Amino acid sequence: MSANDFALKVRAREQLVGYWITLDSPATAERIGRLGYDYVVLDGQHGLIGYQGLVHGLLAIDAGAAIGARPSVGLVRVEANDPTPIGRALDAGAAGVIVPLVDTAEDVARAVRAAKYPPVGARSFGPMRAALRIGPVPADSNAQTVVLAMIETPLGLRNVAQICATPGLDGVYVGPSDLSLALGARFPGDPAVAAEFEEAVALIARTAREAGVAAGIHTFDGESAKQRLAQGYTFATVASDLSHLEAIAAAHLETARS
């Protein structure tokens, strides 16, 4: 789909399924981009990807989408809520940004300003690659790109209603590892906070629905993604390239030695 199609689907709260890329491997991104996921995220925060890797990854996703039956769009989880990484990701052709560590409505407003051209925001004009496929007229680019805020901190959870109500925000995205730590977990997935975690996840989905914005969540496999979509989340990301590579390699090793 085009970036505009994707933005319309996100804002209409249609169900979407994506994939997560952490490795600087354009060939991998190209293959994933042709499988039929609605979006593919390049992780610029914790992933092993520099700026050139993001550019090459976005090129690869588009190349894979061009030969796939159901094209994916490329998103970037930026390294920080700052105008420079946000603007550079969009200039490189990302259809949207996922902004980490959002605590308040003011944080969201800052992200929106960085992602949108005047008069809506303060993004500097220089769409080096994005001009080929998103926009390039500033008003069109503003309409065709999405801004998603991560809910993963104690303050973010406490302020989720105000965050969801911030103008210009298209949706929220749950980072389950950090959210569980924010709830007192000793490690991500700690069963000691499982009940509190599920309450928080349900609250975020409900709050987003009431505010009319999309609600997304990272999951560790397709079955979990299916469950979260059934729970009311409108988009869900499946695992990551690195975790899948390790899991499949370990499974084959176990089979070979058994």
Return d(Cα 121, Cα 147) in angstroms, integer: 12
Rounded (5°) CA angle 45-103-43: 15
Catalytic residue among 46, 218, 244, 252: 46
Return d(Cα 32, Cα 19) in angstroms, integer: 8
CB 114 within 8 A of CB 169: no
Report the SS3 class of residue 159: coil
Q: How far is CA 132 from CA 2, 39, 52, 136, in A?
A: 12, 19, 18, 7
Catalytic: 56? Answer: no
CB 148 within 8 A of CB 97: yes
Concatenating the DSSP letter of every residue in 118-140 gives TTT--PPS--TTGGGTS-SSHHH
Q: Which residues belong to the active site? A: 46
